[in-house]
Structure 1
Amino acid sequence: MVSRRRWRMDDRCRSSVGDGGEVPMSVPYAAPRPRLATTLADLLLSGASAHPERPVLLFPDARLTYVELREKAWRMARAMAALGVAPGDTVGVFMVNAPEQVIAMFATAMLGATVVPINARYRASELGFIATDARLRLIITHDRNRDYVDFAALLHEAFSGLADAVDPFALVLPAAPELRAIVMFGDARQGLVGEDALGPLADLVDDATIARRCDATAIRSIAAIIYTSGTTARPRGAMLTHEALVGHWSAFGRRWGIRPDDVFWVPVPLFHIAAIGPLIATMAHGAAFLSDVYFDAERALEQIEHHRATLLYPTYPPLTESLIAHPDMATRDVSSVRMWLNVAPPDVLRRMAAAFPQAIQLTTYGSTEGGPVTLTAPEEPFEVRIGTCGRPLGGVEVEVIDASGDTVPVGTPGEIIYRGPNCFSGYFCDPEKTAATIQPGGWIHTGDVGKLDADGRLHFLGRVKEMLKVGGENVAPAEVEEYLAGHPAVKLVQVVGIPDPRLAEVVAAFVELHDGAQASEEELIAFCRGRIASFKVPRVIRVVTEWPMSATKIQRSTLREALLQELGMEVGA
């Protein structure tokens, strides 16, 4: 690459995990490290020492303080050690949002092992793939919300022979040769280690063993493998160090200005980086993390009011739109909210901000592989906070390059690349994809299109693969989406490309209308004509009432395939 203009912030990550005061401990817990980038175990141990009785987890049917979380995670770590989990082993956590999910994550960290959060929406084939690809030694699950998903039944389907296992403490499963046990919180099921066995197991391992494991864990060892899906391939496991998680998300919390008295509401599933990261940021600043087993707008508004939530992290437009469109929004007292974050086009962000007029709205650019790369700041002007993705977080460098790898001038679109202590260490057991993504100098190539302005703020424009080529002209889907979102009837927009015999590709859009609003497809197309370049005007618009979703994102590829089938076009085109 040629000479670069790099944008970074100089406030290197130092975690802030307490507000003073040690308390006597009944067992020899590992001592908290200095207030630098720490491990996940250090994060909890430090928090429990500094503010033991402060609430850390708030769920509809459970409330845990920092010291209670420490005690439960420590006890769980002893039981897991008795089951043979060793430093460097991988432990799958297959649950919906619940306190035991967090307990399992920190217990794994205390052992120097690696947690693998598993998407709770996965079914048997996907579950089997994760178990073998991640080489899971142990899976931890629960029977919470069995009416929604029966995790034991899924596990039995995924692993032939599990239901007939003679010894659940020493499994031998052809489909998962390295898997030795599956632990279930709640009622014991055939082939699974029940919750009632955890106490006797924990008694087999002393506290000093766990303390040694904590002390021996390096901050650059792998803390988590988080699977992220591509559009055409199996999910890939992004390996994240303790430094990338704890150090970087602590810096994220500092830019937010998280305070010990804050209550941080996060509805995103805890197998996703957009929930794990905010949990870490919350704990790094001694605050409370508020969540639920699943997202429901009515329950969410009740939670926010009851717990006087001060920070909100809905992040994804479908969640936010559901929240602010619910009838209870008009009657619930949400005046406690002082700051929240959403990711959407500027016109949509402007409308979202109006729903919480007393709160500062932030936005971000990031990914599983790098967490929040850039973030707006509370002190920035409103138009900056909705019109850009902000500046890089501490220690992170961001550049925009062309197809040759050369840095482009300010204001010119290109591929976004970044590097810093936030970066993942590669894809688990996938050296080819790792080499394609992490290139010389440690630069992460994102496949995202964006531009940097003169103040070093990032503007996200879309995916390289999603960039449309209409008659030789580049069209960023985000640009068309932003314009269509300005129509008063439009709630959400997604843009895709479809084949065209003359122009090679043309724009197609899917829109969801506000409740009670009306707008025909012809009206929406007319709204664009003469106001944006003709090659950007959608040739086809479809009004939808629901979206095909992954865990958190709208699946454009599914929308495009359905439209191609409707139009009688080849799906692979």
Structure 2
Amino acid sequence: MSPVVTTEVCPLADLLLRAAHSHPDRAALILPSARASYAELRAGALSIARSLLAMGARRGAHIALLIPNSVEYAQALFGVMLAGCVAVPLNTRHRAAELGYIIDHADIFAILTSRHDEDPADLHAVLEEALRGAGSDGGRRRIALVRGEAPGIALGRRAFLRLGEAVTEAQVESVRRCVRVRDPALIIYTSGTTAHPKGCVLPHEAVTRGPVERARHRLSVGDHDVTWAAGPLFHIGSLAPFIGSVGVAGTFLTDSWFDAGRAIRLMTEHGATLAWPWFSAIAQAIIDHPGFAPERFATLRHLFLIAPPALVDRVQDLLPETEILQACGMTETAGIFALSDRSEDRLSRSTTQGKAYPGVEVRIVDADSGVDLPDGHMGEILVRGYNVMDGYWADRARTDQGIDADGWLRTGDLYTRLPGGSLVFAGRCKDMLKVGGENVAATEVEAVLAEHPAVKIAEVVGRPDIRLDEVPVAFVELRAGRTIGEDALIAHCRARAAGYKVPRAIVFMTDAEWPMSATKIDKRALRARLA
């Protein structure tokens, strides 16, 4: 008989309170230069919640977080939750104009930010510029530093926390107990094909149920799990694992920026049992680093990796005792909606992205007609379940376009479902090239390029063509010390793929030249470069 997996749903703040009660002295969060126990995380979050209420924040108020990965970020996130408010994590790489748009659009009550030597930029200065260009209310928004002190528009950390002395813990508790599991917990803005980012409204059930269930029943190794994630906590790809870690009172390892050497030292020093490098470039940097050695990862039992088969195979060879998992996910689904089964073999783990996660439904449909397609046919994947966002903030038109009356989310992603239920990712609908009437999935060409031993990273986009509508062009970064010319790399593809799939040109890139979004290469910027 299969083990019973019970459903647990609770508001996000409750996860921290439970972990702080059961394991107060256990490290909740560790960075190379800072750490916090669960008791310390709770105390810091409570102080921030008291100060927010003293500022006048009411249940459901939108609180923006412009803070890099840090103890203070975690305390601010849970402080917002304890106060019954909604957290709006902001990308610390955004420019002033981008921040100004989101701050205006998201109806922000207060902004919690940072002024610290490890910040990726002068966030305080960027925020000042953003608010100068914001709407008429921009100058009156409440801004406080939860990390550091600075003159200017923001209330310093000490002064902000002093505000909370007028609010009791009992008052915080009274507000927290009113939060419902389908109330909004987060609004995470995600970029797409539109001019402005869209704010995904994610309820507490969506952001806690799946991550905690996976952490407890699918990914746990025992009483104490140690999770490492490479990405920023304003991104769902790292925030969801962090929430799962808190849900099982685990220890979460991260950094304010990614450096392969620092990541290796952090994971090996603290015995990581679960790792989320997520994307090819991050995994590649770790296994190619001089400090990498398989024996240093003896405690690692699970590793998430979305990458071409050649890289997945290489990682499986290097770490044979680690279960390599692939997954499907997006911000609109609060992270993962499909995941590798325990029973899947090596080939499946290299070539598919898992199966629909229990409690989540998927359909594969023709992107134009919406008609369901049989297994083995590529189409747009639709998702329905507890994890799907409630909609896009303050945008009824986009919400209605994205979620139908029956609750199915149009993801804009292309997949094929195999007869056994495994899903194979084929790229975004907009990444599907039409070459002389033939469909070409960019990911298919990228996988062929990645088979060449000289290729480190490959990204394929379409270039307009008068005769064929568009043709594939590849952007490629080579491995250190390896060389290959454009003609030779095109010949490699021609020997392995139909002629219409072969790149018409290769653009060689260095590591520093890739245009990046929060966690991955920005293909829109690559298309713009071709234009």
Shorter-chain TM-score bucket reads: over 0.9
Structure 1 equivalent of residue 168 of structure 2: 206
CA distance 1:450–1:482, change in 2 (3 Å):
same
Residue type of the alignment partner of 2:94: Y
1:440 aligns with 2:384: no
Q: Which position in structure 2 is the counterpart of 1:488?
A: 453
Q: List runs of 5+ in structure 1 lacking aligned partners.
A: 1-8, 15-35, 163-172, 564-570
Per mean C-alpha deviation after superposition, the further-off stretch among 361-370 and 47-56 is 47-56
Specify whether residues 353 and 480 from structure 1 end up closer, same or farther in structure 2 by C-alpha distance, changes over 3 A only. same
More helix by share: 2
Q: Which moved more, 1:196-205 or 1:325-334?
A: 325-334
Distance 2:337 2:402 in 1: 16
Provide Cα deviations, 1:70-125, integer angstroms capped at 9, x if missing partner: 12111211111101111010000001110110111111011111000000001211
> Normalising by the residue count of structure 1, what TM-score does the alignment of the two structures yield?
0.88
Query: In the alignment, is residue 304 of structure 1 matched against residue 267 of structure 2?
Result: yes
- CA deviation after TM superposition for structure 1 residue 312, in Å: 0.9
Of 44, 47, 69, 1:72 maps to 44
> How many equivalent residue pairs?
525
Q: Where does residue 391 of structure 1 map in the other structure?
A: 355
Superposition map of 1:380-529 within 5 A: 380-402=344-366, 403-529=368-494
Quote the Cα distance in structure 2 between the aligned partners of 1:483 and 1:335: 32
Match of 1:92 among 59, 64, 72: 64
Determine the C-alpha separation between the residues in 2 that align with 1:475 and 1:295: 33
Residue range with higher mean Cα deviation, 346-355 or 511-520: 346-355
The reply on whether 1:554 has 2:521 as its aligned counterpart is yes
Is 1:215 aligned with 2:181? no
Deviation at 1:510, TM superposition (A): 1.3
Matched, 1:288 2:251: yes
Residue identity in the other structure for 1:418: V
Which structure 2 residues correspond to residues 341-360 of structure 1 after superposition, within 5 A? 341-360=304-323
Secondary structure at 1:132 match in 2? helix
Q: Which fold has the larger relative contact order, with Cα–Cα distance below 8 Å and residues 6 or more apart in sequence?
A: 1
Mean Cα displacement is larger for which, 36-45 or 346-355? Answer: 346-355
Query: Matched residues, percent identical?
Result: 40
Please say if 1:131 is aligned against 2:121.
no
Q: Distance in 2 between matches of 1:64 and 1:249?
A: 21
C-alpha distance in structure 2 between counterparts of 1:391 and 1:425, whole Å: 23
Partner residue in 2 for 1:181: 143
Instruction: Report if the CA contact (8 A) 2:25-2:39 is conserved.
Output: yes
Alignment deviations for residues 513-571 of structure 1 (CA, whole Å, 9 cap, x no partner): 111112111111111224211111111112211311111111112222223xxxxxxx3
Checking the alignment, whether the CA contact within 8 Å between 2:414 and 2:425 is kept in structure 1 is yes
Shift of 1:345: 1.8
1:56 maps to which of 12, 28, 33: 28
Structure 2 counterpart of 1:256: 219
Query: Hey, what does 1:160 align to over in structure 2?
Result: 132
Separation (CA, whole Å) in 1 of partners of 2:264 and 2:283? 11
Q: Work out which of the residue numbers 13, 18, 43 in structure 1 matches 2:15.
A: 43
Q: Which residue of 2 aligns with 1:143?
A: 115
3-state SS of the aligned residue for 2:193?
A: coil
Q: For 2:162 and 2:280, how far apart are their aligned partners in 1?
A: 46
State how far apart, in whole Å, the 1-side matches of 2:313 and 2:101 are.
42
**Matched residue of 1:361: which SS?**
strand
Q: Is the 8 A contact 2:475 2:508 kept in 1?
A: yes
Cα separation, partners in 2 of 1:67 and 1:246, compared to 1, 3 Å: same
Deviation at 1:325, TM superposition (A): 1.4
> What is the RMSD of the two structures over their aligned residues, measured on CA atoms?
2.0
SS of aligned partner of 1:442: coil
Question: Per-residue deviation at 1:184?
Answer: 4.1
Summarize the Cα distance change of 1:290–1:247 in structure 2 as closer, same or farther, 3 Å threshold: same
The whole-number CA distance in structure 1 between the counterparts of 2:116 and 2:492 is 48
| Partner secondary structure for residue 102 of structure 1 | helix
What is the one-letter code of the residue matched to 2:204?
Answer: H
Q: Post-superposition shift, 1:258? A: 5.3
For residue 130 of structure 1, report the CA deviation from its aligned partner.
1.4
More off after superposition, 417-426 vs 58-67: 58-67
Q: Does the C-alpha gap of structure 1 residues 530 and 195 become closer, same or farther in structure 2, counting only changes over 3 Å?
A: closer
Instruction: Report the CA distance shift for 1:13/1:86 in structure 2 as closer, same or farther (over 3 A).
Output: farther
Unpaired stretches in structure 2, ≥5 consecutive residues: none
Instruction: Name the residue aligned to 1:315.
Output: 278
